[in-house]
Amino acid sequence: MYEKVDAGIIEALRRIVGESNVLVDSEALEPYTHDETVGLRADPEVVARVRSAGQAAEIFRLAQRERVPVTPRGAGYGLSGGAVPTCGGIVLSLEKMNRILEIDQENLMVTVEPGAITGDIHRAVEAEGLFYPPDPASLDSCTIGGNIAEDAGGPRAVKYGVTRHYVCGLEAVLPSGEIVTCGGKLVKNVTGYNLIQLLIGSEGTLAVVTKIVLRLLPLPKVQVDLLVPFDDFQAAADTVSDIIAHRVLPTTIEFMERDSVLAVERLLERELPHRDAAAHLLIQLDGNSQEAVDADYEVVGELCLKHGALDVLVARDSRTRDRLWEARRLIIDALNHASPVNHMEDVVVPRAELPPLLQGIKEIGRRHDVRVVCFGHSGDGNVHVNVLKDEIPDERWETLMPKVTEEIYTLALSLGGTITGEHGIGATRRRYLHLALDETQIELMRGIRAVFDPHHILNPGKIFP
Ligand SMILES: Cc1cc2nc3c(=O)[nH]c(=O)nc-3n(C[C@H](O)[C@H](O)[C@H](O)COP(=O)(O)OP(=O)(O)OC[C@H]3O[C@@H](n4cnc5c(N)ncnc54)[C@H](O)[C@@H]3O)c2cc1C
End-to-end CA distance of the chain: give it in Å, rounded: 17
Atom of ligand 1 nearest to the CA of 147: 21
- Domain map of the chain by residue range? 7-93, 100-218, 220-336, 339-459
CB of 204 sitting under 6 A from ligand 1: yes
CB of 152 sitting under 6 A from ligand 1: yes
Instruction: Please name the residues in contact with 26: beta carbons below 8 A apart, sequence gap of 6 or more.
Output: none
Atom of ligand 1 nearest to the CA of 153: 11
What are the residues facing 346 on neighbouring strands? Answer: 420
CB of 94 sitting under 6 A from ligand 1: yes
Q: What is the DSSP-derived secondary structure letter of residue 292?
A: H
Q: Which of 99, 142, 202, 337 to mutate to test the pocket of ligand 1 (most atoms within 8 A of CB)?
A: 142
Residue 412 and residue 111: Cα distance in Å, rounded? Answer: 37
pTM: 0.96
List the one residue out of 211, 215, 213 whose CA is nearest residue 94: 211
Amino acid in position 208:
V
Q: Which fold has domain 220-336?
A: Alpha-Beta Plaits (3.30.70)
CA–centroid distance, 78 to ligand 1, in Å, is 4
The parts of the chain modelled with pLDDT lower than 70 are none
Amino acid in position 204:
G
CB of 332 sitting under 6 A from ligand 1: yes
Residue 244 and residue 450: Cα distance in Å, rounded? Answer: 41
CATH number listed for the domain at residues 339-459 = 3.30.70.2740
Residue nearest to atom 16 of ligand 1 (CA): 78
CB of 134 sitting under 6 A from ligand 1: no
pLDDT for the residue 320? 85
Asked whether 405 and 345 are in contact (CB, 8 A), the reply is yes
Q: What is the DSSP-derived secondary structure letter of residue 32?
A: G
pLDDT for the residue 1? 82
pLDDT for the residue 403? 96
Q: What is the DSSP-derived secondary structure letter of residue 31?
A: G
CA–centroid distance, 422 to ligand 1, in Å, is 9
CA angle, 344 as apex, 340 and 346 as ends, to 5°?
Answer: 170
The listed CATH number (3.30.1490.20, 3.90.1150.150, 3.30.43.10, 1.10.730.10) that belongs to domain 7-93: 3.30.43.10
Residue 10 and residue 264: Cα distance in Å, rounded? Answer: 44
CB of 70 sitting under 6 A from ligand 1: no
CA–centroid distance, 103 to ligand 1, in Å, is 23
CB of 145 sitting under 6 A from ligand 1: yes
* Residues counted in the chain: 465
Same fold, 220-336 and 339-459: yes
Instruction: Please name the residues in contact with 192: beta carbons below 8 A apart, sequence gap of 6 or more.
Output: none
Residue 346 and residue 328: Cα distance in Å, rounded? Answer: 16
pLDDT for the residue 268? 82
Residue 36 and residue 321: Cα distance in Å, rounded? Answer: 26
CA–centroid distance, 104 to ligand 1, in Å, is 26
CATH class of the domain whose range is 100-218: alpha beta
CA–centroid distance, 142 to ligand 1, in Å, is 6
Residue nearest to atom 37 of ligand 1 (CA): 146
Q: What is the DSSP-derived secondary structure letter of residue 418?
A: B
List the one residue out of 87, 58, 198 whose CA is nearest residue 458: 87
DSSP sequence for 442-461: HHHHHHHHHHH-TT--BSTT
pLDDT for the residue 265? 86
CB of 144 sitting under 6 A from ligand 1: no
Backbone angles phi, psi at 236, to 5 degrees: -65, -45
List the one residue out of 377, 367, 359 whose CA is nearest residue 414: 359
Q: Calculate the alpha carbon distances from 48 to 24, 55, 58, 96 in Å.
A: 9, 10, 11, 10
Instruction: Please name the residues in contact with 119: beta carbons below 8 A apart, sequence gap of 6 or more.
Output: 139, 140, 141
DSSP sequence for 309-321: BS--EEE-SHHHH
CA–centroid distance, 82 to ligand 1, in Å, is 8
Backbone angles phi, psi at 172, to 5 degrees: -145, 150
pLDDT for the residue 116? 98
CA–centroid distance, 294 to ligand 1, in Å, is 35
